[in-house]
Copies of this chain bind each other. A is one copy, B any other.
C-alpha cells in the first residue's frame, strides 16, 4: 500500500490568508478520485514556496515529494504516479512512465531505511 500525503495548508502567493486553501481543495478532490490509494492530509510538508505539495511513500520504498501541483490540473498525474509507485517493489516508477508534471517537479526523494545493494 502506498500512501499519498497531501498538504492541506498550501496556498499560493497572493491568496488571502483566510480564503479556502488550494491544498485542502486538492486533498478533497484526490480523496474522491483515489480508488485503492490511501490519501492522508498533512499540515505542511515544508515545501511552501513550491506548493501545492504532495508526497508518496510506503514502508520499505522510496519516498517522493512533488511540488507545483495545481488542484485543477494535476489530479490525474499525481494519482497515476502514486499508482506506479504502489506497483513498483522499491517505489521507483520507471522514468518514461512518469507523467510530465512529475518528471519536472520532483522536489526530492528519500530512500527507504534499507537500500538494496548499498553497504552501510
Contact = CB atoms under 8 A, between A and B. Distances in A.
Interface of A: 3, 5, 38, 40-42, 44-47, 53, 55, 57-59, 63-65, 67, 106-111, 113, 115, 118, 120
A108 B53 contact: yes
Interface of A is mostly: strand
A47 B108 contact: yes
B45 A110 contact: yes
A110 B38 contact: no
Contact of A47 (B3, B53, B107, B115): B107
B110 A5 contact: yes
Contacts of A63: 63, 110
